[in-house]
Amino acid sequence: MSPRSNISARFDTAPDPLDGRVPPGPIDSKWTDHKFDMRLVNPANKRKFEIIVVGSGLAGASAAASLGELGYKVTLLTFHDSPRRAHSIAAQGGINAAKNYKNDGDSVHRLFYDTVKGGDYRSREANVHRLAEVSVDIIDQCAAQGVPFAREYGGLLDNRSFGGAQVSRTFYARGQTGQQLLLGAYSALMRQVHLGSVKLYRRTEMLELVLHDGRATGVVARDLVTGEIRSFSGHAVVLATGGYGNVFYLSTNAKASNASATWRAHRKGALFANPCFTQIHPTCIPASDEFQSKLTLMSESLRNDGRVWVPKELDDTRTADLVPESERDYFLERRYPAFGNLVPRDVASRAIKREVDAGRGVGPIKNGVYLDFAESIERLGPKAVEERYSNLFEMYERITDENPQNTPMRIYPAVHYTMGGLWVDYDLMSNLPGLFVLGEANFSDHGANRLGASALMQGLADGYFVLPYTIGNYLAPLLGAAPVSTDDTVFAEAESTVRDEIKRYLSTNGTHSVDWFHRELGKIVWDNCGMARSTETLEKALTEIPPLREQFHNDVKVLGDNESMNQSLEKAGRVSDFLEFGELMCLDALHREESCGGHFRVEHQTEDGEALRDDENFAYAGAWEFNGVGAPPTLHKEPLEFENVHLAQRSYK
Amino acid sequence: MHLKLRVWRQAGPTATGAFESYDMPEVSAEMSFLELIDELNEKLIEANKEPVAFDHDCREGICGSCSMMINGQAHGPSRGTATCQLFLRKFVDGSEITVEPWRAGAFPVIRDLSTDRTALDHIIESGGFISAPTGSAPDANLILVPKEVADAAMDAAACIGCGACVAACPNSAAQLFTAAKVAHLNLLPQGQPERWNRVQNMVDTMESYFGSCTNHGECEKACPKEISIDFIALLNKDYLKAQWKNRKLESQRG
Ligand SMILES: Cc1cc2nc3c(=O)[nH]c(=O)nc-3n(C[C@H](O)[C@H](O)[C@H](O)COP(=O)(O)OP(=O)(O)OC[C@H]3O[C@@H](n4cnc5c(N)ncnc54)[C@H](O)[C@@H]3O)c2cc1C
Ligand code: FES
């Protein structure tokens, strides 16, 4: 029996392939032609349309601002106390764009090619090409907004290189690129708020998606200060609610990042694609202890000037300075001479794990490898290195009490980004008409692995340059139709679902805190569905998650009431959703009998331990349909065709 | 290590608050300050007491959510450090630590240590932007920005909007916050067309929510990003100039 057969009871497969609705024509004119072919809403009619945007990160803020500028009536919800606090603020390294300002051979086609290859051939070519095309406009847009990108002495924009690329196409603002890009989008957004085209609801968390006749027509949300449950109605709903990395409990994501908005849309029928495609980032500060609440990323840009090594000896207890050059193994340079320390994240992460598992780890609990700047400091001088990385070095020193100028950093991989997300078509619309999904929340552009500096690019591409066009195509035929009234029964039902759920949490009176359950779930998925996965570990996770979920519902302790700020109550809903989502993620990982990008199945590897894809059987996006909690979901396959980038085993040697 | 905490507890915006004391007999020096509060909350929940509400998110000093007065200092004793980046190794074993929310009229307490800082958003709304509607931008390299200028703008733009400057100021003024945004945009060539309106509108909005600056300089010391108080001088200069600038003749330099 093939190993696949014993999981067949866990899900059904839909007979018909899923259609990504990619426009016809050659890859480099699809988007241009499509823009021309799409229906338009004339300026005077735009104000007759109401759009609900959930999320104020790069994707949501840029979308809401752009839609407001166009004249639509926008409602923006965020659970943060200000749009500027969204998780995007923490991105450090930079944003890619095919500007070719460095004259080093970059082009839209190369960025497209690198992204498809970097994604290990599990993304939709047409989307990726569009992303590469609009990347250049993003930089123009952000520079015009006053984003203080790094400059050269002549006043031109500076670039650096980033993992997975052999050209310098990354734009940056010190180590705070995400902050500056988000503040740019936030300022554009606040301008629209001031002008009245965007109505902003802070500390307001979406808890249900509302459908009417199969179309997305609104959301139900809770005011996190007063507990008021409220309905919002519109002609379309846009989710830009970020990724699900916190299912692992420990990750580099902000503490509040969660999957509830997308999961609740999934429960209402939106397909969830490729949940097992999660990215582990190679350069994070190793965890120190149980109480650890979060892992801290050290930007990938450090790999430009830092060299990764471990002592050749097993269980070497000498400090770094006592290990002579000849006894160090610069294993990334050795294994991948062409890319060296700049191999993509998944490749670097697994190589690091291999060294640590083999017993060559460094640090007090031997759970890291060195990232050493000595050679760069010698080559460029301490001042130049300081200039490039000062805030990262500071951050590192604050946490570990060690200065990377003198002692090499210690790093270890951590969960960082999630490529999977709600399934969307070429227009970024989910299978539910009127529900659009942007940024990390969708599954669209990164396949099985995202290249560094490409998430910021995608979030802003979606929000500034894709959705403002494609949403018009959806709205145009709806002209004249009023949004469904919030007095309609569909809203009343959704509101009562939310109220019942809240009542349930508050009356369970169990023994464990919400965080306790979150940590337990995190351990299960990290140990069994983390950097390396196997039939055995995934089966284990799939038997452990349902009882934990049941225990949660019988034994969680949420104190306080609904009518005031109650952070345990907020977390309860999010963890409840993670307990359902985690199961789907493991199932997706189990069903995908291949290794690709961030999804590494130990059964499927080459002789030297690289990911082994199975293009014949798995060159598809796997989009799951919800059939009830614990019930077998239905798998819809969107076949992926590679007409412009030839399928090949990735090699960074 | 052993720490004693005195934490401000307040059930809601209109409730009266009070300090409560908690004993934390065994905590690790490697813990961050927020992890200490996490631990306290777990203990409270275990004892059927409501956990302490506090704002936090990134836990790496960039989102500006965390906001605690620690022993009377905004973000605690370390310079250039947000509460989330403060580690217990900075405290003396056995000491008592007082934790309060930001105290400022413009930042009403929502619950315990969480306050409403929307007033800062209103300042940005009134002018903290460059009007560049999506799609209207020229090629980025057409706008040259001297490196020194870009660097200075970045120094100002590093503000995380936490409000520590307001909390530390005896007058609860928001001058440093406002100055940081004005300087970031007014230094850049892209920011010139709206320069005078920007500073005027932002200062006027600021004054409708916050107290006035009397140059105490506490803000700079409290700022987790060490934003320089020099930007306030720049703000004042631009604000003054904005009063008499003939904006129609602005292009006539010299
Ligand atoms: C430490 C770190 C460094 C990174 N560095 C880089 C980098 O250098 N380059 C790069 O390209 N990428 C980087 N990334 C990835 C990148 O930052 C993210 O993928 C990207 O910012 C996600 O943006 P987003 O707009 O999709 O979502 P987010 O920024 O996560 O925003 C989500 C928004 O949705 C809101 N929200 C969510 N759920 C709800 C709900 N139910 N109700 C109401 N509101 C809700 C939140 O309030 C928030 O406003 C980094 C990520 C991390 C963790
Ligand atoms: S939690 Fe984000 S700055 Fe402290």
* ipTM of model: 0.98
**Assigned token pair, A640:** 């992926």
- Residue type at A312 in one-letter notation: K
**Assigned token pair, B184:** 């970031």
Res A401: pLDDT: 87
- Residue type at B44 in one-letter notation: L
Name the helix (H) or strand (E) containing A401. none
Beta pairing class for A170-171 and A236-239: unpaired
DSSP sequence for A205-260: EEEEEEEETTEEEEEEEEETTT--EEEEE-SEEEE-----GGGGSSSSS-TT--SH
**CA A426, CA A130: separation in Å to the nearest integer?**
10
| Sign of CA pseudo-dihedral A7, A11, A15, A19 | negative
**Is B46 in the same domain as B66?**
yes
Euclidean distance between the first and the last CA atom of chain B, given in angstroms as a whole number = 64
**Assigned token pair, B174:** 């928001």
Is residue A371 within 8 Å of residue A302, measured between CB atoms? yes
Is residue A593 within 8 Å of residue A4, measured between CB atoms? yes
Residue A88 Cβ < 6 Å to ligand 1 = yes
Percent of all residues in chain A with a pLDDT value above 90, rounded to a whole number: 87
**CA B126, CA A1: separation in Å to the nearest integer?**
68
Domain count, chain B: 2
Min distance A242 CA to chain B CA atoms (Å): 14
Single pTM value for the model: 0.96
**CA A529, CA A73: separation in Å to the nearest integer?**
42
* Chain A contact probe: residue of B41, B62, B155 with most A CBs at under 10 A: B62
**Is B145 in the same domain as B23?**
no
**Single residue among B58, B83, B111 that ends a domain in this structure:** B111
Q: Residues A297-304: what's their mean pLDDT?
A: 86
Res B253: pLDDT: 63
CA of residue A15 relative to chain centroid, distance: 29
Res B249: pLDDT: 84
**CA B88, CA B30: separation in Å to the nearest integer?**
6
Look at residue B69 and tell me whether its pLDDT is greater than 80: yes
pLDDT digit string, tens, across residues A487-505:
999 999 999 999 999 999 9
| Sign of CA pseudo-dihedral B135, B140, B143, B148 | positive
Q: Residues A282-292: what's their mean pLDDT?
A: 86
Mean of all residue pLDDT scores within chain B? 96
CATH code for the domain in which residue B152 is found: 1.10.1060.10
pLDDT digit string, tens, across residues B115-152:
999 999 999 999 999 999 999 999 999 999 999 999 99
Is B157 in Cβ contact with A194 (below 8 Å)? no
Range(s) for CATH 3.90.700.10 in chain A? 281-413
DSSP sequence for chain B: --EEEEEEE-SSTTSPPEEEEEEE-S--TTSBHHHHHHHHHHHHHHTT-PPPP---SSSSS-S-----EETTEET-SSTT--GGG-BGGGS-TT-EEEEE----TTS-EEETTEE--HHHHHHHHTT-S----TT-PPPGGGS---HHHHHHHHHHHT-----HHHHH-TT-B-HHHHHHHHHHHHHSGGGSTTHHHHHHHHHHHHHHHSB------HHHHH-TT---THHHHHHHHHHHHHHH--GGGTT---
Name the helix (H) or strand (E) containing A55. none
When pLDDT is cut at 50, 70 and 90, the band that residue A5 belongs to is very low
Q: Nearest 5°: CA angle at B251, between B250 and B252?
A: 90
**Is B25 in the same domain as B68?**
yes
Percent of all residues in chain B with a pLDDT value above 70, rounded to a whole number: 99
Is residue B74 within 8 Å of residue B222, measured between CB atoms? yes
Look at residue B54 and tell me whether its pLDDT is greater than 60: yes
Q: Residues A294-299: what's their mean pLDDT?
A: 90
Q: Closest Cα to atom 8, ligand 1: which residue? A: A93
Closest CA to B205 of B99, B122, B93, B135: B122
Beta pairing class for A50-54 and A236-239: parallel
**CA A637, CA A621: separation in Å to the nearest integer?**
6
For residue A337, the SS3 value is coil
Weakest-pLDDT range from A13-17, A165-169, A207-211, A270-274: A165-169
pLDDT digit string, tens, across residues A236-259:
999 999 999 999 999 999 999 999
**CA A81, CA B79: separation in Å to the nearest integer?**
25
Closest CA to A447 of A317, A313, A642, A196: A642
Contact status of A61 with chain B (Cβ, < 8 Å):
no
Range(s) for CATH 1.20.58.100 in chain A? 488-637
**CA A421, CA A415: separation in Å to the nearest integer?**
15
**Is B146 in the same domain as B207?**
yes
pLDDT digit string, tens, across residues A616-625:
999 999 999 9
Residues 255-284 of A with CB under 8 A from B: 255-256
**Single residue among B111, B131, B153 that ends a domain in this structure:** B111
Percent of all residues in chain B with a pLDDT value above 90, rounded to a whole number: 95
Residue A440 Cβ < 6 Å to ligand 1 = yes
Structural domain of residue B106, as residue ranges?
A: 3-111
When pLDDT is cut at 50, 70 and 90, the band that residue A80 belongs to is very high
CATH code for the domain in which residue B50 is found: 3.10.20.30
Is residue A90 within 8 Å of residue A182, measured between CB atoms? no
* Chain A contact probe: residue of B44, B60, B89, B149 with most A CBs at under 10 A: B60
**Is B35 in the same domain as B53?**
yes
Fold of the domain spanning A281-413:
Flavocytochrome C3; Chain A, domain 1 (3.90.700)
- The residue of chain A with its CA nearest to that of B86 is A398
**Could you count the other beta carbons within 10 Å of the beta carbon of residue B24?**
18
Weakest-pLDDT range from A205-219, A286-300, A415-429: A286-300
When pLDDT is cut at 50, 70 and 90, the band that residue A162 belongs to is confident
Q: Residues A197-210: what's their mean pLDDT?
A: 98
Is residue A120 within 8 Å of residue A611, measured between CB atoms? yes
Mean of all residue pLDDT scores within chain A? 95
Look at residue B189 and tell me whether its pLDDT is greater than 50: yes
Catalytic annotation present for A122 = no
**CA A504, CA A562: separation in Å to the nearest integer?**
11
**Is B163 in the same domain as B72?**
no
Min distance B213 CA to chain A CA atoms (Å): 25
B118 CA to centre of ligand 1 in angstroms: 21
Chain A residues closer than 8 Å to B140 by CB: 99, 139-140, 142-144, 149, 157
Res A2: pLDDT: 40
Please identify, in words, the CATH class of the domain defined by A488-637.
mainly alpha
When pLDDT is cut at 50, 70 and 90, the band that residue A390 belongs to is confident
Q: Closest Cα to atom 5, ligand 1: which residue? A: A91
Res A163: pLDDT: 67
* Chain A contact probe: residue of B35, B78, B129 with most A CBs at under 10 A: B129
- The residue of chain A with its CA nearest to that of B121 is A82
**CA A380, CA A444: separation in Å to the nearest integer?**
39
When pLDDT is cut at 50, 70 and 90, the band that residue A4 belongs to is very low
Look at residue A1 and tell me whether its pLDDT is greater than 50: no
**Is B94 in the same domain as B63?**
yes
Res A146: pLDDT: 98
Residue-level length of chain B = 254
When pLDDT is cut at 50, 70 and 90, the band that residue B208 belongs to is very high
Chain A residues closer than 8 Å to B64 by CB: 82, 84-85, 89
Q: Residues A351-364: what's their mean pLDDT?
A: 92
Min distance B136 CA to chain A CA atoms (Å): 7
Q: Residues B44-68: what's their mean pLDDT?
A: 97
**Is B89 in the same domain as B122?**
no
Res A480: pLDDT: 95
**Single residue among B89, B111, B133 that ends a domain in this structure:** B111
DSSP sequence for A548-566: HHHHHHHHB---S-SSS--
Q: What are phi and psi of A431, to 5 degrees?
A: -70, -15
Name the helix (H) or strand (E) containing A171. strand A170-171
Look at residue A3 and tell me whether its pLDDT is greater than 80: no
pLDDT digit string, tens, across residues A432-484:
999 999 999 999 899 999 998 999 999 999 999 999 999 999 999 999 999 99
Weakest-pLDDT range from A189-193, A230-234, A364-368, B234-238: A364-368
Res A166: pLDDT: 85
Look at residue A268 and tell me whether its pLDDT is greater than 90: yes
- Residue type at A497 in one-letter notation: T
Look at residue A520 and tell me whether its pLDDT is greater than 80: yes
Is residue B32 within 8 Å of residue B59, measured between CB atoms? yes
Q: In this structure, what is the dihedral angle of CA atoms B202, B208, B211, B213, given to the nearest 10 degrees? A: 30
